Amino acid sequence: MTATSSSGAAASSSTASGSSTSAAASTVPLLSVAAVDVKIETVQVLRGFSLDVPAGTMVSLTGRNGAGKTTLLRTIMGHLTPVAGRLSFDGADLGSKPAHIRAALGIGYMPEDRGLVPELGVEENILLPVWVSKTLQVEDRLRFVYEVLPELKEMRERRALQLSGGQQKLVALARALAVGTRMLLLDEPFEGVAPALSERLATAIGILRGSSISVLIAQSEMNHADALIDREVVIERGANA
Protein backbone atom coordinates (compact mmCIF):
# COMPACT_ATOMS: atom_id res chain seq x y z
CA MET A 1 0.00 0.00 0.00
CA THR A 2 1.15 3.50 -0.82
CA ALA A 3 0.20 6.19 1.67
CA THR A 4 -0.32 9.75 0.51
CA SER A 5 -1.86 12.86 1.91
CA SER A 6 -3.02 14.31 -1.41
CA SER A 7 -4.37 13.23 -4.77
CA GLY A 8 -1.95 11.99 -7.05
CA ALA A 9 -5.89 -5.49 -8.16
CA ALA A 10 -7.82 -11.79 -8.74
CA ALA A 11 -7.99 -11.79 -12.54
CA SER A 12 -10.08 -9.24 -14.39
CA SER A 13 -13.80 -9.99 -14.37
CA SER A 14 -15.69 -9.43 -17.59
CA THR A 15 -18.94 -10.09 -15.73
CA ALA A 16 -18.32 -7.21 -13.41
CA SER A 17 -17.33 -4.60 -15.95
CA GLY A 18 -17.69 -5.85 -19.47
CA SER A 19 -13.94 -5.46 -19.83
CA SER A 20 -10.95 -7.71 -19.24
CA THR A 21 -8.35 -4.98 -19.25
CA SER A 22 -5.58 -4.97 -16.68
CA ALA A 23 -6.63 -1.55 -15.44
CA ALA A 24 -5.02 -1.78 -12.02
CA ALA A 25 -1.65 -0.90 -13.47
CA SER A 26 -2.96 2.34 -14.97
CA THR A 27 -2.06 5.65 -13.39
CA VAL A 28 -4.64 7.65 -15.36
CA PRO A 29 -7.40 8.65 -12.94
CA LEU A 30 -10.88 7.36 -13.62
CA LEU A 31 -12.16 9.81 -11.01
CA SER A 32 -10.50 13.14 -10.38
CA VAL A 33 -11.49 15.61 -7.67
CA ALA A 34 -9.56 18.88 -8.02
CA ALA A 35 -9.55 21.63 -5.38
CA VAL A 36 -13.23 21.19 -4.52
CA ASP A 37 -15.05 23.47 -2.08
CA VAL A 38 -18.46 22.45 -0.77
CA LYS A 39 -20.76 24.31 1.58
CA ILE A 40 -23.81 22.94 3.40
CA GLU A 41 -25.97 25.97 4.08
CA THR A 42 -23.45 28.44 5.54
CA VAL A 43 -20.87 25.88 6.70
CA GLN A 44 -17.91 25.12 4.45
CA VAL A 45 -17.29 21.39 4.70
CA LEU A 46 -14.77 20.74 1.92
CA ARG A 47 -11.86 23.16 1.50
CA GLY A 48 -9.94 22.77 -1.72
CA PHE A 49 -9.95 18.99 -1.42
CA SER A 50 -8.34 16.88 -4.14
CA LEU A 51 -7.91 13.19 -4.89
CA ASP A 52 -7.45 10.88 -7.87
CA VAL A 53 -8.71 7.31 -8.19
CA PRO A 54 -6.90 5.52 -11.04
CA ALA A 55 -8.83 2.88 -12.96
CA GLY A 56 -8.84 -0.51 -11.29
CA THR A 57 -7.46 0.65 -7.94
CA MET A 58 -8.80 0.68 -4.40
CA VAL A 59 -8.35 3.96 -2.57
CA SER A 60 -9.08 4.68 1.08
CA LEU A 61 -10.46 8.09 2.01
CA THR A 62 -9.49 8.12 5.66
CA GLY A 63 -10.56 10.67 8.25
CA ARG A 64 -12.27 11.21 11.55
CA ASN A 65 -16.02 11.54 11.87
CA GLY A 66 -17.01 14.95 10.59
CA ALA A 67 -13.90 15.35 8.42
CA GLY A 68 -15.96 15.57 5.22
CA LYS A 69 -15.86 12.01 3.85
CA THR A 70 -19.60 11.61 3.37
CA THR A 71 -19.85 15.12 1.94
CA LEU A 72 -17.27 14.23 -0.69
CA LEU A 73 -19.08 11.05 -1.74
CA ARG A 74 -22.41 12.87 -1.90
CA THR A 75 -20.77 15.55 -4.01
CA ILE A 76 -19.38 12.96 -6.42
CA MET A 77 -22.87 11.46 -6.75
CA GLY A 78 -24.45 14.86 -7.41
CA HIS A 79 -26.36 15.21 -4.16
CA LEU A 80 -24.33 18.31 -3.27
CA THR A 81 -22.96 20.99 -5.58
CA PRO A 82 -19.41 22.35 -5.27
CA VAL A 83 -18.95 26.09 -5.08
CA ALA A 84 -15.43 25.78 -6.51
CA GLY A 85 -13.17 23.14 -8.04
CA ARG A 86 -13.72 20.43 -10.64
CA LEU A 87 -14.95 16.85 -10.74
CA SER A 88 -14.19 14.62 -13.70
CA PHE A 89 -14.92 10.99 -14.55
CA ASP A 90 -13.04 9.22 -17.29
CA GLY A 91 -11.70 12.59 -18.43
CA ALA A 92 -15.13 14.22 -18.84
CA ASP A 93 -16.61 16.93 -16.64
CA LEU A 94 -18.83 15.40 -13.95
CA GLY A 95 -19.99 18.54 -12.19
CA SER A 96 -22.50 19.50 -14.86
CA LYS A 97 -24.22 16.11 -14.89
CA PRO A 98 -27.34 15.44 -12.77
CA ALA A 99 -27.29 12.65 -10.19
CA HIS A 100 -29.18 10.09 -12.29
CA ILE A 101 -26.72 10.52 -15.15
CA ARG A 102 -23.79 9.90 -12.81
CA ALA A 103 -25.26 6.57 -11.74
CA ALA A 104 -25.77 5.69 -15.40
CA LEU A 105 -22.03 6.15 -15.95
CA GLY A 106 -21.46 2.99 -13.91
CA ILE A 107 -20.93 4.49 -10.45
CA GLY A 108 -22.42 2.50 -7.58
CA TYR A 109 -22.95 4.21 -4.23
CA MET A 110 -23.28 2.56 -0.82
CA PRO A 111 -24.36 5.24 1.70
CA GLU A 112 -23.39 4.97 5.35
CA ASP A 113 -27.05 4.68 6.42
CA ARG A 114 -27.62 1.91 3.83
CA GLY A 115 -30.66 3.65 2.30
CA LEU A 116 -32.75 0.51 1.86
CA VAL A 117 -36.53 0.52 1.40
CA PRO A 118 -37.70 -1.35 4.54
CA GLU A 119 -40.85 -2.89 3.07
CA LEU A 120 -39.16 -4.21 -0.06
CA GLY A 121 -37.41 -7.56 -0.28
CA VAL A 122 -33.66 -8.02 -0.52
CA GLU A 123 -33.68 -8.66 -4.26
CA GLU A 124 -36.06 -5.78 -4.91
CA ASN A 125 -33.74 -3.41 -3.06
CA ILE A 126 -30.78 -4.67 -5.07
CA LEU A 127 -32.62 -4.19 -8.36
CA LEU A 128 -34.12 -0.75 -7.77
CA PRO A 129 -31.37 1.13 -9.67
CA VAL A 130 -31.15 -1.59 -12.32
CA TRP A 131 -34.85 -1.30 -13.16
CA VAL A 132 -34.44 2.36 -14.09
CA SER A 133 -31.31 1.74 -16.18
CA LYS A 134 -31.60 1.69 -19.96
CA THR A 135 -28.50 -0.46 -20.44
CA LEU A 136 -28.15 -2.92 -17.54
CA GLN A 137 -29.67 -6.39 -17.79
CA VAL A 138 -31.37 -7.69 -14.65
CA GLU A 139 -30.25 -11.30 -15.11
CA ASP A 140 -26.63 -10.35 -15.73
CA ARG A 141 -26.38 -8.01 -12.77
CA LEU A 142 -28.10 -10.42 -10.37
CA ARG A 143 -25.79 -13.22 -11.47
CA PHE A 144 -22.76 -11.08 -10.72
CA VAL A 145 -24.11 -9.88 -7.35
CA TYR A 146 -24.90 -13.42 -6.22
CA GLU A 147 -21.45 -14.59 -7.30
CA VAL A 148 -19.91 -12.03 -4.97
CA LEU A 149 -22.51 -12.33 -2.18
CA PRO A 150 -24.13 -15.79 -2.55
CA GLU A 151 -25.72 -15.65 0.91
CA LEU A 152 -28.09 -12.95 -0.28
CA LYS A 153 -29.70 -15.31 -2.78
CA GLU A 154 -31.03 -17.39 0.09
CA MET A 155 -32.68 -14.35 1.69
CA ARG A 156 -33.74 -12.60 -1.52
CA GLU A 157 -37.45 -12.54 -0.59
CA ARG A 158 -36.90 -11.37 3.00
CA ARG A 159 -37.91 -7.78 3.64
CA ALA A 160 -35.13 -5.35 4.49
CA LEU A 161 -36.71 -4.47 7.84
CA GLN A 162 -36.26 -8.10 8.94
CA LEU A 163 -32.49 -7.99 8.48
CA SER A 164 -29.78 -7.23 11.01
CA GLY A 165 -27.68 -4.11 10.56
CA GLY A 166 -24.82 -6.17 9.14
CA GLN A 167 -27.10 -7.96 6.69
CA GLN A 168 -28.45 -4.62 5.57
CA LYS A 169 -24.87 -3.51 4.87
CA LEU A 170 -24.45 -6.56 2.62
CA VAL A 171 -27.61 -5.65 0.71
CA ALA A 172 -26.47 -2.04 0.35
CA LEU A 173 -23.15 -3.28 -1.03
CA ALA A 174 -25.00 -5.60 -3.40
CA ARG A 175 -27.13 -2.73 -4.70
CA ALA A 176 -23.97 -0.70 -5.37
CA LEU A 177 -22.43 -3.70 -7.14
CA ALA A 178 -25.52 -4.08 -9.31
CA VAL A 179 -24.97 -0.69 -10.98
CA GLY A 180 -21.28 -0.04 -10.22
CA THR A 181 -19.84 -1.50 -13.39
CA ARG A 182 -16.95 0.99 -13.35
CA MET A 183 -16.67 2.40 -9.84
CA LEU A 184 -17.92 1.90 -6.29
CA LEU A 185 -18.21 4.59 -3.63
CA LEU A 186 -18.49 2.90 -0.23
CA ASP A 187 -19.24 5.06 2.80
CA GLU A 188 -18.10 3.45 6.07
CA PRO A 189 -18.90 -0.11 4.95
CA PHE A 190 -17.39 -1.65 8.11
CA GLU A 191 -18.84 0.79 10.63
CA GLY A 192 -21.25 -0.50 13.28
CA VAL A 193 -21.30 -4.19 12.34
CA ALA A 194 -20.03 -7.31 14.08
CA PRO A 195 -16.41 -8.34 13.39
CA ALA A 196 -17.48 -11.44 11.45
CA LEU A 197 -19.63 -9.39 9.11
CA SER A 198 -16.89 -6.79 8.74
CA GLU A 199 -14.59 -9.57 7.59
CA ARG A 200 -17.27 -10.82 5.20
CA LEU A 201 -17.66 -7.35 3.71
CA ALA A 202 -13.88 -7.05 3.31
CA THR A 203 -13.75 -10.43 1.57
CA ALA A 204 -16.53 -9.45 -0.83
CA ILE A 205 -14.86 -6.14 -1.67
CA GLY A 206 -11.53 -7.94 -2.06
CA ILE A 207 -12.99 -10.09 -4.85
CA LEU A 208 -12.95 -6.97 -7.01
CA ARG A 209 -9.16 -6.55 -6.75
CA GLY A 210 -7.57 -6.96 -10.15
CA SER A 211 -10.77 -6.14 -12.01
CA SER A 212 -11.29 -2.88 -13.89
CA ILE A 213 -13.68 -1.61 -11.19
CA SER A 214 -12.29 1.24 -9.11
CA VAL A 215 -13.27 1.44 -5.44
CA LEU A 216 -13.22 4.46 -3.14
CA ILE A 217 -13.77 3.48 0.51
CA ALA A 218 -14.51 6.23 3.04
CA GLN A 219 -13.59 5.10 6.54
CA SER A 220 -12.39 6.34 9.89
CA GLU A 221 -9.59 3.78 10.08
CA MET A 222 -8.19 1.02 7.90
CA ASN A 223 -8.36 -1.86 10.34
CA HIS A 224 -10.51 -4.02 8.04
CA ALA A 225 -9.35 -2.81 4.62
CA ASP A 226 -5.59 -2.36 4.98
CA ALA A 227 -4.79 -5.38 2.83
CA LEU A 228 -7.17 -4.22 0.10
CA ILE A 229 -5.96 -0.67 -0.38
CA ASP A 230 -3.58 0.52 -3.08
CA ARG A 231 -3.33 4.05 -1.73
CA GLU A 232 -4.63 6.16 1.12
CA VAL A 233 -5.81 9.78 1.01
CA VAL A 234 -6.26 11.45 4.40
CA ILE A 235 -8.84 14.17 4.94
CA GLU A 236 -8.89 16.53 7.91
CA ARG A 237 -11.45 19.28 8.39
CA GLY A 238 -12.42 19.07 4.75
CA ALA A 239 -8.90 19.48 3.38
CA ASN A 240 -6.03 17.24 2.35
CA ALA A 241 -3.95 16.39 5.41
Both ends of the chain: CA-CA distance in Å?
A: 18
Q: Is the pLDDT of residue 15 over 60?
A: no
Q: How confident is the model at residue 1 (pLDDT cuts 50, 70, 90)?
A: very low
DSSP string, 141-170: HHHHHHHH-THHHHTTTSBGGGS-HHHHHH
Percent of the chain at pLDDT exceeding 70: 88
Residue 100 vs residues 59, 87, 97, 107, 204: alpha-carbon distances, Å: 24, 16, 8, 10, 26
- What is the domain-level CATH number for residue 82? 3.40.50.300
What phi, psi does 167 have (nearest 5°)?
A: -65, -35
Contact in structure between 175 and 122 (CB atoms under 8 Å): no
Structural domain that includes position 9: 2-240
Q: How confident is the model at residue 8 (pLDDT cuts 50, 70, 90)?
A: very low
79-106 pLDDT, tens digit per residue, is 999 999 999 999 999 988 988 888 889 9
- What domain count does the chain have? 1
Closest CA to 185 of 172, 166, 171, 196: 172
Q: From CA 88, how far away is CA 54, in angstroms rounded?
A: 12
101-142 pLDDT, tens digit per residue, is 888 899 999 998 888 888 999 999 999 888 988 888 899 999
What pLDDT does 153 receive? 93
Whole-prediction pTM: 0.85
Contact in structure between 161 and 119 (CB atoms under 8 Å): yes
